[in-house]
Structure 1
Amino acid sequence: MAADSFLMPPCRKIRICKAKREPNLNHSDSSSGVEPQDADYSYVPQLYDELENLILARFPLSEYWKLYLLNKHFLQFLKSGELFKIRRQIGFKESSIFMSASGGNSWWAFDRLFKCCRKLPELPSRDVSFIGGDRESLCAGSHLIVAGWETTDGYVVWRFELETSKWIKGPFMIDPRCLFASATCGTFGFVAGGIGMGLIGAKVLNSAEKYNPETKSWESLRCMNKPRKFCSGCFMDNKFYVIGGKDENNNELTCGEAYNQDNNKWELIPDMLKDDDNQVATQQSPPLLAVVNNELYSLKTSSNELMVYIKNSNTWKKLGAAPVRADLHQGWGVAFKSLGNELLVIGFSSSISSGNDNGKGMTIYTCKPEPESKELQWRCIEGYKDRLNFFLLNCCVMVA
């Protein structure tokens, strides 16, 4: 951008007229009524459209919905998607947390610091199977993707667009699926594995896909080495990792696979989920994984212990207990996510074991993990304890 593009444009001259006075009935002068005339000029600077757009691009993401109500110009500007393109060009990004808890079909959006919260428009699906069944969620660019099963259409995808603040059905995946691994890299979303519907019923998949929010389309990727369901995904070392899960015979998988976009190949990593005792990290839910500063962390559902992955030795190191009860429902209902340079955990507070909690509402904690640290400092986020049920159905982080 040229340096002179930030200079103020030429001032616009505004004509200001004097108000017409009422005639003085006691005065014989016929000129007592004064007509409007050029009396004074004020110079009101105007903003270039480019400068105005740069200012709007730095507007807090959690407040964008208010711009829809401002005027038609801002509404159309938001719907065009240009505002998010400008944010990417200037490197201005914010994290937002989207979550849905048990007890309803509502989605909530929180800002990075959990100081702003708003309820999204109701997801239009009224299908009982979709509302009460397994749903997966991920974010890609400014799109929130929610996948699940509907009685009439099978496995479907609903997406919420920040540009329009609306839910839209589709586009469906090339291989519709549920209970799959997912991760986000830049503005793209990646999915792999899961359960799909074959010609003779449910089938465990090894296929993978990539979602592009600009074209609103899915692209097939090379298939994994092993079919797997109940697996988890993450991005680390610029690769899409799919870890753990179960195979087509319902056997636990401790291996992982890493997809390299440069050569379009998957690398199989044996025993990636074995702990220090060389025991399988069995868990009913998919593995709870998060990557912060290119380091992989795991929350064990059997012991509520936080672990960090040591890449060179393909082993795990203990970092201490997390402040939520991941073991309460074998990992289900707990959120374990990366939030910038912090770890985010949401769930039932571990203080209930000592009787210091009334057992209602969710608890939110963050910390800045250090692989070499002996003790992690968790920070409790206050203010939302009774806003949502502690059992989360879905949670994902958007960076846009």
Structure 2
Amino acid sequence: MLEGPSYLVSRNLPSSCEQESKWIYNAFRVIELSNSKHRLEDHGEIPLRKSCKVQDALDQGSRQLVKDFPNIFVIQTNQPDDHDHYQNHTGARSDTCSLIHQLGRDISINCLLRCSRSDYGSIASVNQNFRSLIRSGELYRLRREMGIVEHWVYFSCNLLEWKAFDPIHRRWMNLPQMPDNNCFMCADKESLAVGTELLVFGKEITSHVIYRYDILTNTWSSGMRMNNPRCLFGSASLGEVAILAGGCDPLGNILNSAELYNSETGTWVTLPSMNKARKMCSGVFMDNKFYVIGGMGVGTSRSLTCGEVYDMTTRTWTVIPDMFPGCNGGVEVTEAPAAVAEAPPLVAVVNNVLYAADYAQKEVRRYKKDRNLWVSIGRLPDQAVSMNGWGLAFRACGDRLIVIGGPRGLGGGVIELNSWIPDEGPPHWDLLVQKRSGSFVYNCTVMGC
């Protein structure tokens, strides 16, 4: 996760570029200054699609810089969009493709990799070359290769509205509203972030539907189809791949099937089936293996206490007996009427350690893998209110645990985002932000890219 301020120019530029790099940084500092006008203090928001232009910032504060250093200030905001202009008369690529002309394309990209992705909207507004680079996904692929990852929280407290929150810079972003689909909105939904995509799964009257939000284009689309359509499944992502397991088919049958989605290729691959069919379960990746925990089995309203782990190398599932017994409120609470069925287990993995939120006792528990045992380590935030676990989000966000929720009240409520970086001591929750909003979290996921 990126720490501290973001710099558009690498600190490792060769000495011959040192003088130029100072002024290149000053030029791109204009982007950062223009963004600062839109930043959230404690309650404001900025849109995900930033409308500010670099030229606007130049007009307001950097004309003197351009006047004094005309050959150093190299951002070109009026480059033609026509592809023919990207090549010179010899057929070779012209210098307009080098992004930051005096640095060249490779060093330019190396600079941009270290910029926070919340600034990519402004960078894309510079010209066609920058816009094409941002939308191509190349920067995100290179960031993965270099181990540069920012984790953002995506969640919905209103049926068609999604927000993104950057916990490092503490910025809010509004996503475009989801397409209006009344049938879809009335059904249970699951969400999953994988690669640079946010996927929202749900059920229409006679079929399942998937809506996909692409951060590269800032747009929603639909039409994706799994090999085996399902809802109420367990899922988790690891980089650009995700695994979905269990759930219900369009006829309500509980499934033991599983499949893998690759966001780079947009393809679904059917995996070997689990040993037990289950719905309303949770999934996590831990030690590069995929775990399915809890859920409801076939022909019973009792919660399953066993888990299963899928080894991606051997392509095999292994049952883990009593992996999640007494998930909430004590070991005797293993059955509940369908009308008040509890939410899937609230679990998250940080640094290959599994944690769970016990909503009934308002406790945080840590899983001891070597002993197949859960131990209580402390309390959830006081404002973490839920209805049998529904409406409360408990997620891993990089090296920290995130709890999202708040007290309910007439006429709306307040949403709180609390975080804790796990250590050997009890949880000490840091209130990242408090915002007036619907206090019931319908869906929540974390995207790392």
TM-score interval (norm. to shorter): 0.7 to 0.9
Determine whether 1:75 maps to 2:131: yes
228, 244, 248: which one aligns with 2:278: 228
In structure 2, the residue matched to 1:105 is: 160
In structure 1, the residue matched to 2:171 is: 116
Q: Which has the higher helix share?
A: 2
In structure 2, the residue matched to 1:178 is: 231
Separation in structure 2 between the aligned mates of residue 179 and residue 148 of structure 1, nearest angstrom: 9
Q: CA deviation at 1:271?
A: 0.8
Separation in structure 1 between the aligned mates of residue 193 and residue 138 of structure 2, nearest angstrom: 19
In structure 2, the residue matched to 1:266 is: 317
In structure 2, the residue matched to 1:333 is: 391
Cα separation, partners in 2 of 1:226 and 1:90, compared to 1, 3 Å: same
Q: CA deviation at 1:65?
A: 2.4
1:339–1:397 Cα contact (<8 Å) kept: yes
In structure 2, the residue matched to 1:310 is: 368
Superposition pairs of residues 162-173 of structure 1, within 5 angstroms: 162-173=215-226
In structure 2, the residue matched to 1:219 is: 269
The alignment yields a C-alpha RMSD, in angstroms, of 2.7
* Amino acid paired to 1:110: F
Q: Which has the higher strand share?
A: 1
Q: CA deviation at 1:376?
A: 1.9
In structure 2, the residue matched to 1:367 is: 420
Separation in structure 1 between the aligned mates of residue 283 and residue 139 of structure 2, nearest angstrom: 29
Q: CA deviation at 1:67?
A: 3.1
Separation in structure 1 between the aligned mates of residue 243 and residue 15 of structure 2, nearest angstrom: 39
* Amino acid paired to 1:118: M
Query: 1:191-216 CA deviation, whole Å, 9 max, x = no partner?
Result: 1011112xxx2111111111111111
256, 270, 276: which one aligns with 2:307: 256
In structure 2, the residue matched to 1:191 is: 244
Query: 1:2-28 CA deviation, whole Å, 9 max, x = no partner?
Result: x9989659x9xxxxxxxxxxxxxxxxx
Q: CA deviation at 1:324?
A: 4.4
Superposition pairs of residues 1-400 of structure 1, within 5 angstroms: 8=17, 44=72, 46-102=102-158, 104-113=159-168, 115-124=170-179, 126-151=180-205, 154-197=207-250, 201-250=251-300, 251-275=302-326, 278-280=331-333, 284-324=342-382, 328-349=386-407, 360-370=413-423, 372-373=424-425, 375-382=426-433, 384-386=434-436, 388-400=437-449
Q: Which runs of 5+ in 1 are unaligned?
A: 12-40
TM-score, normalisation: structure 1: 0.82
Structure 2 counterpart SS, 1:235: strand
1:273–1:280 Cα contact (<8 Å) kept: no
Cα separation, partners in 2 of 1:113 and 1:42, compared to 1, 3 Å: closer
TM-score, normalisation: structure 2: 0.73
Q: CA deviation at 1:68?
A: 3.6
Separation in structure 2 between the aligned mates of residue 252 and residue 227 of structure 1, nearest angstrom: 12
Separation in structure 1 between the aligned mates of residue 379 and residue 354 of structure 2, nearest angstrom: 16
Which stretches of structure 1, 4 residues or more, deviate above 4 A after TM superposition?
3-9, 41-45, 275-278, 280-283, 324-327
Structure 2 counterpart SS, 1:346: strand
Query: 1:123-178 CA deviation, whole Å, 9 max, x = no partner?
Result: 12x221212321101111111111111236x1111111111111121321111111
